[in-house]
A and B are shown apart, each in its own frame.
Chain A
Amino acid sequence: MKRIYKVIIILTILFGILVMPSSKVQQLNADLPEVIDLSNTIIPSYKLPPGAKITKEEEIEGLSQRIERCREGKEFWDSRFPDGAIPTRVQVITIPYGEFTRIFFDNKDASVLTPKDKVYILVLIDIKKTFRQAVADMKFLPPGQLERWERQGLFESNRQFVCQEYQLIDPLTDTVVEWGYNKKILILPRQESD
């Protein structure tokens, strides 16, 4: 008799898994993002070009001060989402463009007009976001994408996930020239001066 019960349990579990959409099965198993830890790697301390308007240290200081003001309730990290979270981790390094595209895109994506040896300030910001918050930062989406996500019910969920934003700052203009949203959590290599 006990054997029959065991068979019933196994069959029921298998049936339950089959009934769940395959994506939802993955959802239950994948609430934590994959982390790629490069912190044991040491890279050179790449020098910024002469005439740089901002340094790595100033960028770190500016971000630290802003996060502190957010913690004290003096401002919101994102004014559109007053209930939004504050970054949990900020990483800043100097990096040549060619290294950036190698680490982030495995060289499968790049500007060909940007010299590979041009040094930028790279900022990574880990922050918990709802899906709605993440989408609000995506400026250029193809047609139909938002409706598709609506149909998937993604905007309804208040579930938060750790989002890692990156910004590539041109030190000569102090402007972000490339912005993105990495689908993995990357812990950057240390630099010789760190």
Chain B
Amino acid sequence: MAKKIIIFCFIILALGIFFGAKAKALNSVKSYARGYINWYIQRKWIGAKVSFANPNPDYIAPPSSDPNKGPVNQTLGVITNNGNLVYDSETHEQTQSWVEVGYTKGWATNRRDPNTYNPDIRSLYTARERPLDGIGYYDERLSPISVGPPGTVHNYKILYDSGVWKVYIDGIYDSYSSQPLYAQTIAIGLENADSKNSSVSEVSLQNMAYYYENQGWYSFGQANPKIQITSPDGGNYYFYYTNSTKDTAKDGMNK
């Protein structure tokens, strides 16, 4: 009897140690290449804005036959809820809440068609993930606001107001998402699924600013110097920004 109990105890302990170790395991998966500027700002802030010109010449998104298929886009994103991770019991993922707006080249059109992805679609878009309150979802939406020709400048803004994160494009209130305060990170830059895509050039942005609660907009325009770094496999780049104030930032390439 005592022997059985000891074996049982070992099994329980082994299970605990196994799952604990697996949760921390690293792997070597390489996914999308993305260029970003990330600002990690200590003070409470509730908004961000930036201006991008539509790429000119336009990006060439990978065709649907390419395993790296996916859009190429300029983006402004805000990670909300203080960056807290929320556990999803179905996917077992820990995900942050965020809101995003920008320009995309390439869009999935319809699942009844095997070519669900059309690399030629140009549009402004918004996206968000909200793993909260039992109504978790990941969502992408085309904006009805006109994208305009290559070179058209758009002003993107995400600002917390009256309990929701409001998304504006060119001063037009486009959409909202109810997610908790505060913003943790501003992400500005390029998302590119194909690391070999030579059509993707440096993101040209202007008028970067963030909004401190009860204070107002603060420019990030003094962020210098900017260093463009090309990755060893070519076609990718990312930025490194510094600022003379306390709010410094270093972007990364998620690859």
Contact = CB atoms under 8 A, between A and B. Distances in A.
Interface of A: 5, 8-9, 12-13, 15-21, 23-24, 26-27, 29-30, 33-34, 59, 62-63, 65-66, 75, 79-80, 104-106, 108-114, 123, 125, 131-132, 134-135, 137-157, 161-162, 165, 167, 169, 174-184
Interface string B77-119: 1010000010111111111101010101001111111100000
Interface stretch (B167-175, B196-204, B223-231, B240-248): B167-175
Query: In this complex, which of A110, A142, A167, A180 has the most chain B Cβ atoms within 10 angstroms of its Cβ?
Result: A142
Contact of A79 (B65, B193, B251): B65
Nearest to A61: B112
B38 A143 contact: yes
Contacts of B173: 112-113
B8 interface: yes
Contacts of B36: 143
A66 B112 contact: yes
Provide the main secondary structure of the chain B interface. mixed
A69 B133 CA distance: 39
Contacts of A113: 143-145, 172-175
Given A143-B185, A154-B91, 19 more contacts: A16-B15, A17-B16, A20-B19, A26-B87, A27-B92, A104-B135, A112-B175, A113-B143, A139-B127, A140-B75, A141-B32, A143-B251, A148-B85, A152-B93, A153-B24, A165-B111, A169-B110, A179-B141, A181-B137
Contacts of A16: 12-13, 15-16
Q: Looking at chain A's contact residues, is the secondary structure mostly helix, strand, loop, or mixed? A: mixed
Nearest to A59: B112
Nearest to B100: A140
A45 to B, nearest CB: 21
Contacts of B164: 108
Contacts, number: 244
6 contacts: A13-B12, A16-B15, A80-B69, A109-B128, A112-B173, A145-B254
B135 A23 contact: no
Q: How many B residues touch the partner, as a band?
A: 35 or more
Given A140-B73, A147-B254, A63 B144 contact: no
A163 to B, nearest CB: 8
Contact of B177 (A108, A132, A169, A183): A108
A180 B69 CA distance: 18
Contacts of B64: 79
B104 to A, nearest CB: 8
